[in-house]
Structure 1
């Protein structure tokens, strides 16, 4: 049950932050979402690092499209 709540919370935060403009090419937004999700799983720093990398990648992909 706790994992389900953590997942729902992380997804809700991600949905809220998805509407915000990309800061630092997506790294900050991704780090926040990844850090929260990683913290719930016991790996906050790894989650933040992975979230930063994914956010940066997605921001670059979006910049190339438009």
Structure 2
């Protein structure tokens, strides 16, 4: 059962890595590290890393969208 779960997690990570543009990789790596550490505390390191990566990607994507929608500052 653990092997199947681990395989599914790796597949999700692979799809997430392929779907993420290079600019968002930094956020994913930061989120994966933070999520992995937090997940390790409750014995779910891989799940925490995947969740952290997805959460960070979402945060940085939303932040970039907000920056694009703001009008250019009048100078």
Alignment TM-score > 0.5, same fold: yes
Aligned Cα root-mean-square deviation (Å)? 1.6
How far apart are 1:59 and its partner, in Å? 0.5
Runs of 4+ in 1 over 6 A off after TM superposition: none
**Structure 2: gaps spanning 5 or more residues:** 1-22, 68-75
Using the alignment, how far apart are the partners of 2:64 and 2:28 within structure 1? 14
1:34 matched to 2:45? The reply is no
Distance 1:48 1:39, change over 3 A: same
Task: Write the deviation string for residues 42-63 of structure 1: whole angstroms up to 9, x where unpaired.
Answer: 0000000000000000000000
5+ unaligned residues in a row in structure 1: which ranges?
1-21
Which of these two proteins has the greater Rg computed from alpha carbons?
2
TM-score normalized by structure 1? 0.63
How high is the TM-score relative to the length of structure 2? Answer: 0.56
